[in-house]
Amino acid sequence: MLLLKEITLAEPKNQLDRNNAVRQVSQSRALVGYVLIRRLGYKLKDVAKCLGRDAATVSSLVSRFAVRMSENETLRKQTARLAADCQE
């Protein structure tokens, strides 16, 4: 299976920082899920298990990410870069 680097987040100082940290983790989860499922061909149920989410939740977040990615060049570049790094 794919090895992912551990992401360390500093303890948020206030609620706004905490919300931003949660959003960043969620967006990262969506990016990883999208790349693993749509680009690398992993099974939805396997990715969901690794992410600690149910298959319906992962399916939804991947679908929403695909929509956001189609509208955002930065997300497209991040996705391409991660997919290329995973295939090395």
Domain-by-domain residue ranges, the chain? 15-87
Q: Given this model, what pLDDT does residue 15 score?
A: 65
Once rounded to an integer, what is the mean pLDDT over residues 5-22? 61
Token digits of residue 33? 């899920």
On the question of pLDDT at 4 being above 70, the answer is no
Please state, in angstroms and as integers, the Cα–Cα distance from residue 18 to each residue in 8, 11, 15, 56, following that order.
Answer: 14, 8, 5, 26
Q: Are 71 and 26 in contact (CB under 8 A)?
A: no
Q: Given this model, what pLDDT does residue 2 score?
A: 45
Give CA–CA dist 81/24, Å, rounded. Answer: 18
**pLDDT tens digits for range 31-57:** 999 999 999 999 999 999 999 999 999
